[in-house]
Every structure is written in structure tokens, then in C-alpha cells.
Chain A
Amino acid sequence: QKEVEQDPGPLSVPEGAIVSLNCTYSNSAFQYFMWYRQYSRKGPELLMYTYSSGNKEDGRFTAQVDKSSKYISLFIRDSQPSDSATYLCATRYTGANSKLTFGKGITLSVRP
């Protein structure tokens, strides 16, 4: 079993829809959880970051972590065509040298 599994996609939604992107992970030692966004022909950039369980909101984006079920989610409200990108979840252990483990990524397309 891969350490981080992500819904394969692709996902296509109409503008204004609520989008739910999900990942699961296998190692309960993971403590830090991130979502990176990658536009076509660009490198990934950090979108959201959470530590341990709970929710974090930033504008139209909400990141949610449920450590009891090892589930990571990203919700996008009022989705826009500019949200069309590949979204990668990532996680790591505690520790300065701990590396990031990425999900495979899901490509989201928001139709005008």
C-alpha cells in the first residue's frame, strides 16, 4: 500500500460548484499535511498547510484533516476556471529532516 493515496481523477465541474478533493494515508506518524497546486507547465506551489487534525480555511479553500480515519480533504467553494490545475496532497513526519510524501495528484477542470 502506498503511503499516500489520492483519488485518480480527472475531475470536471461547472463554475461555482463545490469541489471536494481527498487523500488517504497509511502511517499514523504523519503529522503535517499540505496541499500543493500545480498549473500546467509550472512547478507545484503550496496552497494550504495544516498540522495534526482539524480544519483550516483560507478564502474559498478549506483543508481538513481527520487523523482518526487518516483522511485529508481540500474543499473549494464557488470554484472558478482559474482553479483548474492539478492538486497534490502531501504529508510528512515530525522532524526537520523529514521529507514530503506526495499523492499522485488529481487534475481539476472548472468549466465556465
Chain B
Amino acid sequence: EAQVTQNPRYLITVTGKKLTVTCSQNMNHEYMSWYRQDPGLGLRQIYYSMNVEVTDKGDVPEGYKVSRKEKRNFPLILESPSPNQTSLYFCASHRPNTDTQYFGPGTRLTVL
């Protein structure tokens, strides 16, 4: 089954404790993105990647890091999480020149 998987689905952590949210897709898509979704603000892109070792900032990259060492994986790293990073995070992937983004099921992160 074609899908984007994220882990963990739910995470509660404390300020300053480094964490990684994993994302994997099995559709051989070149493009992958991370979004955060907040009430009243909608979906905002954090980072995106056009292919292996090619990443770029989205609209709200501060406080986040990403890497793309393999085509299928695109982890999101929070080196020192803060409460304002409490949010619902989505990973997505798609092929170039298409608008069908495939989203993962989301990771609900709470930073205390």
C-alpha cells in the first residue's frame, strides 16, 4: 500500500530535550515536506526536500532541522524543543510537477 508513515504519532516531551520525528514514504517520490498545523494558522511548511541531500527552508524553519540521506526518509529534528513548537506535524511527499501531495497521519507533539 502506497503510504507515508510517521513516528511517533504522539509525543509529550520537556523543553530542551532533543527529539526526532521520522517520516518514510514507499512511493519513490522525489519531493518531501514537513508542515505544522496550528488552530487559526492552518498548514505551514517548515522544510522541504527536492531530492537526496537537497533541502530548503519553508515558511517557518526556525528551531527545526532536517536531513535527506535516503530518498524514502525525511526526519524532522528539534534540537532544543520549546513550548511554542507544540503542534500537529505532517510529513508529505509528491512527484515533481504534480499537486497530489500524500500526507502522513500526523504527529501530535506537546512540549512542556
A binds B: yes
A residues touching B (Cβ–Cβ < 8 Å)?
6, 32, 34, 36, 41-46, 49, 88, 90, 92, 96-97, 99-100, 102-105
- Which chain B residue has the least Cβ–Cβ distance from A96? B96
> Residues of B within 8 Å of A, CB-based: how many?
23
In contact, B42 and A105 (Cβ under 8 angstroms): yes
Give the complex CA separation of A105 and B41 in angstroms: 9
**Chain A neighbourhood of B106, CB < 8 A:** 41-43
Is residue B74 contacting chain A, with contact meaning CB distance below 8 A? no
Give the complex CA separation of A8 and B50 in angstroms: 32
Is residue B97 contacting chain A, with contact meaning CB distance below 8 A? yes
Give the complex CA separation of A6 and B105 in angstroms: 23
- Which chain A residue has the least Cβ–Cβ distance from B100? A46
Give the complex CA separation of A20 and B16 in angstroms: 45
B47 to chain A, nearest CB (A): 11
- Which chain A residue has the least Cβ–Cβ distance from B35? A102
Instruction: Given A43-B104, A43-B106, answer yes or no on A88-B99 (Cβ-Cβ < 8 Å).
Output: no
Give the complex CA separation of A30 and B100 in angstroms: 17
Instruction: Given A32-B99, A43-B104, A44-B103, answer yes or no on A102-B48 (Cβ-Cβ < 8 Å).
Output: no
